[in-house]
Amino acid sequence: MAVAHGTDRDLVRAHKAAIDEHLREISMPFSYTNVFWGGRSEIKPSEIAPAAYAEWCRSTGLDPDSMRDE
């Protein structure tokens, strides 16, 4: 997940486009990106897929268990 904060809509959209392009260049799959304006946006626990993240970590050679708090 990436978060960019800003007050210039065009600049934030340019950063979002750069992030999306980078993900494509490194072949990291994603299905959704968005820009939120105003208010407060929070990710709900139901939107997080821990198993998918752990699988991605393993596919890149990272041990997801090594990132857990002890």
Query: Does residue 26 have a pLDDT over 80?
Result: yes
Over residues 32-55, the mean pLDDT reads: 74
What pLDDT is stored for residue 42 in this prediction? 65
Region of residue 39 (left: phi > 0; alpha: psi -120 to 50; beta: else)? left
64 vs 15, 30, 50, 52, CA distance in Å?
28, 19, 10, 11
Higher pLDDT, 41 or 8: 8
Q: Among 39, 33, 40, which residue's Cα sits nearest to residue 13? A: 33
Q: Both tokens of residue 61? A: 């050679």
Q: What is the pTM of this model?
A: 0.50
- Residue 70: pLDDT band (50, 70, 90) is low
